[in-house]
Structure 1
Amino acid sequence: MKLEILTPDKKVYEGEVTAVTVPGTMGSFQILKDHAPIISTLEDGPVIIKSNNAGEETFVIKGGVVEVLKNKIIVLAEGVA
């Protein structure tokens, strides 16, 4: 899967991932390969990225939106701490 994390200022992350956990408004949830298409609002909290080559990375976002479509994940964050 391809993940992009964007803020109004810059692209924070771009790369291939195996799983992403995001802080949804109704609770955090994980996105895996072939996830159903979804658009969801996000709260302040950690975005946990798992990939084969880098292991696990975490970015703390300040709210935003996530879109998942055809194994492409776009996180539009208001900011990253």
Structure 2
Amino acid sequence: MKLEILTPDKKVYEGEVRSVTVPGTMGSFEVLKDHAPIISTLEDGKVIIRKDNTEETIYIKGGVIEVLNNSIMVLAEGIQNS
């Protein structure tokens, strides 16, 4: 799957991932391959990016996620320092 994380001023992340966990308004949720199309608001919290054997965490300040055809777009209001 392709993941992009954008803020109003820059692209924070772009790459192929196995899964991503995001801080949804109703609780965290994970997006896996062939996930149903979804648009959801996000709270402040951590986005956990999983590749084959690695895991990376980016802390966001709210935003929106769109998932469509194995493409994930996270539009974050900003990035927090962990």
Name the structure 1 match of 2:6.
Answer: 6
- Residue 51 of structure 1 pairs with residue 51 of structure 2: yes
Give the AA of the match of 1:70: N
Q: Deviations over 1:5-55 (max 9, x none)?
A: 0000000000000000000000000000000000000000000000016x0
User: Residues 6-45 of structure 1 correspond to what in structure 2 (within 5 A)?
Assistant: 6-45=6-45
Give the AA of the match of 1:35: H
Sequence identity percentage: 79
Name the structure 2 match of 1:70.
Answer: 69
Name the structure 1 match of 2:79.
Answer: 80
The CA RMSD measured in Å over matched residues stands at: 0.7
Give the AA of the match of 1:74: M
Counting matched residue pairs gives 80
TM-score (norm 2): 0.96
Distance 1:18 1:80 in 2: 22
Distance 1:64 1:16 in 2: 21
What are the ranges of 5 or more consecutive residues in structure 1 without an aligned counterpart? none
What are the ranges of 5 or more consecutive residues in structure 2 without an aligned counterpart? none
Give the AA of the match of 1:61: I
